[in-house]
Amino acid sequence: METVQELMRGSRRALARLITLVENNDPRKEEIMERLFPHTGKAYLIGITGSPGAGKSSLVDRLLAEARQNGSTVGVIAVDPTSPFTGGAILGDRIRMQEHALDSGIFIRSMGTRGSLGGLSRAAREAVQVMDAFGKDLIIIETVGVGQSEIDIVGTADSTVVVLTPAGGDSVQTIKAGIMEIGDIFVVNKADLGGSERTVAEVSMMLDLKEEPGWRPPVLPVVALRGEGVAALWQALMEHRRYLQSGGLFESRRRERAGRELGELVEFLVKSRVWESIRTQISLDELIEAIALRRQDPYSAARELLRRINFPF
C-alpha cells in the first residue's frame, strides 16, 4: 500500500488516486480504509445542500476564500447527479471554484451519484475519510438536495447548511420536507432579489415553531456572487462548532454517526458477500423463470437461495 504511505507524506496525487480506489470499490479498499482510520477524525465536516440553481457552488467558492483567510486547509467534495440511463455524468460544480484550483491548501473533487451498490453516501463518506487522513482541516460536501441519499450525506456532517433562494411567489411551505430538519444553518442566497426578506421571515417562523431546546438555526441572507454575508456565514459555522463542542454534542453526534456507519457497513458487507456467493454458485435464471411463471413464490425462492449457499440464519 505504497499509495497510503505517499498520502501520509502529503502527496496530492496519492490523495486523488485513493479517492478513485474507494469510489470504485476496489478490492483493496477495505485494507486502505483500515490503514487510514487511525489518521482520521480530526477534520471538521460541513455539508451544504439546496435545490439546483440555489447557488451552492458559488457559496462554496466564497467559503473557500473565507476559510483560507482564517488559515484552514480545505477539501471539497462536489456531488452531481449521474444519468440513470447512461451511467455517465457531467460534473461542472467546480467551474465556480476554479480560481482556487492552484491553491495547494485546497483540494476539490467532483463525484457522480453513480447510485449503485451501497449508494453515494458510502462513497462520499469514504472520500471524506481519505481527505481527513490527508490532513485537511475542513471538508465541505456539496450536494443537490433532491434524493434521500444526498440528504443522508449532508446529514452526517458536523454542521449542515441548507441553501434557499427567495421563494418568489412560492411559499416556503413547499420546501421539501426532510430538508428543514437537517439544517443547522439556513442561507437565503441571492438576497438581492425581491422577496428575500419574506423568505428569511418565513423560515425563521417555521424554525421557531419547533420549540426545541438548544441550537436555534440562524437564517442568513447572502449574495454569494458578490460575497455579501459570507463572513457572517463563516462566523455562524464557527459558532455552531463551538456550540457542539461545548455541550458534548460533538461527541454524541459522532457516536451516532459511528453507529450508523457500522450498521451500513455490516449491511453492505453481508449484501455484497451474499450476492457474490450466489453469483458464483447458482444460476438465478431458473428461479426467476419459476417465479415469473408463478410456479414458485418469491419468499420460498429467496429462502431456498440462502439455504443453497449455506447462509447461516
Partner 1 sequence: MSEKRKIRVLVAKPGLDGHDRGAKVVARALRDAGMEVIYTGLHQTPEQIAETALQEDVDVVGLSILSGAHLTLVPQVKKLLRERGMEEVLLLVGGIIPAEDEAVLKQEGAADAVFTPGTALENIISYIHENIGQLP
Partner 2 sequence: MAEELQRAEKEWRRRVEREKERPGPFETVSGKKIKDLYTPRDTADLDYRRDLGFPGEYPFTRGVQPNMYRGRLWTMRQFSGFGDATDSNRRYRYLLEQGQTGLSVAFDMPTIMGYDSDHPRSAGEVGRCGVAIDSLEDMEILFEAIPLEKITTSMTINGPAAVLWCFYLACALKRGIGLDRVGGTIQNDILKEYTAQKSWIFPPEPSMRLITDIFAFAAREVPRWNTVSISGYHIREAGSTAVQELAFTLADGFAYVEAGIEAGLDVDDFAPRLSFFFNAHLDFFEEICKYRAARRIWARHMKERFGAKDPRSWKMRFHTQTAGCSLTAQEPENNIVRTALEALAAVLGGTQSLHTNSMDEVLALPTEKAVKIALRTQQIIAFESGAAHTIDPLAGSYFIESLTDEMEAEAESYFERIEALGGVLTAIEKGFFQQEIADAAYTYQRAVEKGERVVVGVNRFASEEALNIALLKIDAAVEQKQIARLRRLKERRDNIAVAEALRRLGEAAAGSENLIPHILKAAQLYATEGEIISALKKVFGEYREQPIF
- Give me the residues that bind partner 1 (CB under 8 A), please: 12-13, 16-17, 19-21, 24-27, 82-83, 86-92, 94-95, 98, 101-102, 107-110, 112, 114, 116-117, 272, 276
Strands 138-144 and 106-112: unpaired
Cβ 99 to partner 2 shortest distance, Å: 9
HEC per residue, 92-135: CHHHHHHHHCCCCCEEEEEEECCCCCCHHHHHHHHHHHHHHHHC
Tell whether the torsion through CA atoms of 8, 11, 17 and 22 is positive or negative: positive
52 interacts with, out of partner 1, partner 2, none, CB within 5 to 8 A per kind: none
Does residue 269 belong to the site contacting partner 2 (CB under 8 A)? Answer: no
Does residue 53 belong to the site contacting partner 2 (CB under 8 A)? Answer: yes
| Per-residue x/- track, 193-232, partner 2 (CB under 8 A) | ---------------------------------x------
Does residue 90 belong to the site contacting partner 2 (CB under 8 A)? Answer: yes
Nearest CA-CA partner of 91 in 23, 151, 183: 23
Cβ 149 to partner 1 shortest distance, Å: 16
For residue 7, give the C-alpha cell.
Answer: 498520502
Contact criterion met (CB below 8 Å) for 13 and 104 = no
107 interacts with, out of partner 2, partner 1, none, CB within 5 to 8 A per kind: partner 1
Amino acid at 101: A
List phi, psi (to 5°) of 82: -90, 140
CB closer to partner 1 out of 52 and 259: 52
Residues that bind partner 2 (CB under 8 A): 53, 90, 92, 95-96, 226
